[in-house]
Amino acid sequence: MTSAPLAARLSAPSGPLFFPVTAYGSDGAVDLDAYRTHVRRGVEAGAAAVFACCGTGEFHALTPEEFEACVRVAVEAAEGRVPVVAGAGYGTALAVRYARLAEAAGADGLLALPPYLVIAGQEGLLRHYREVAAATGLPVVVYQRDNAVFTPETVVELARTDGIIGLKDGLGDLDLLQRIVSAVRTEVPGDFLYFNGLPTAEQTQLAYRGIGVTLYSSAVFCFAPEIALAFHSALGSGDEETVRRLLDGFYRPFVELRAQGRGYAVSLVKAGVRLRGLDVGEVRPPLHEPGEDHVKQLAQLIERGYALLEEGM
């Protein structure tokens, strides 16, 4: 664990937020050595935080034992240089179990993923996340997406809950998010963190920044950290030329390629990590691997992205 409070460490990040993929060996088992290398390289490349075993890390595919081992390895690889946040999800009982496993493994915080399957009302969602937050001493970021969509009034109550420090938005409804930000700002004293959690968040980050959301997840950082860092730096410094060049030449084509297959927000990223020389294995079912042609297009796109960086030097 890091010594500084998680909210303070995340509020002004020095680099992208890193969501590593989970590595598997040829036998399908978790490859902790490859995972350690992946996390360590990301930290050394300039990640501001490691979000282990979340969406990109195939939380859904991991057993509790695999999850705890991966979180522990991520903490070891980070060596206290950046905070490690672990995913926690499913129904309330299992989410609590994963939260406690993450705490035992040394994580600095939790990303509370949507509950499994059911479409719950606001009262039930609020109770669910409050029970997860109360289960450990770890600060919690709640992930809004799919079947966990909140009214501004519910987020106000979440923000008033001890241990809940922020909201990650994977819905993309900026009208709703603006009303949430306004309501929390009006009703709850102190800071509350907001994250852009859409797939390939760089593509929408200019819009999110317009309503004051400066934090975002970066899956691209997994396989092209220099590109992700250059974009993050350009956003922070107001370098609009670099932002536009990378959006037009790399991120938009990547998003269009990602849209060619279901689950590509994970499997295409994992293919990118392999293309860059680290064998992290394939995705587990029910996800599937991208087709050969799509992998070739990805390789060309990565090459083009690095060429764009050279153009700007």
**Active site residue ranges:** 143, 168
Furthest-apart CA pair in the chain: how many Å? 53
Cis peptide before 16 (omega within 30 of 0): no
Q: How far apart are CA 192 and CA 252, in angstroms?
A: 30
CB neighbourhood size of 177 (10 A): 23
Residues 6 or more apart in contact with residue 137 via CB below 8 angstroms: 103, 163
| CB-facing half-sphere around the CA of 12: CA atoms within 13 A | 1
- Residue 141's closest CA among 181, 112, 116? 112
Sequence-separated contacts (24+) of 282-291 with Cβ below 8 Å? 282/24, 283/58, 283/61, 284/24, 284/28, 284/58, 284/61, 285/61, 287/58, 287/61, 287/263, 288/261, 288/263, 290/260, 290/261, 290/264, 291/261
Helix axes 264-275, 292-311, angle to 10 degrees: 70
- Beta-bridged to residue 51, according to DSSP, are 85
| CB-facing half-sphere around the CA of 170: CA atoms within 13 A | 21
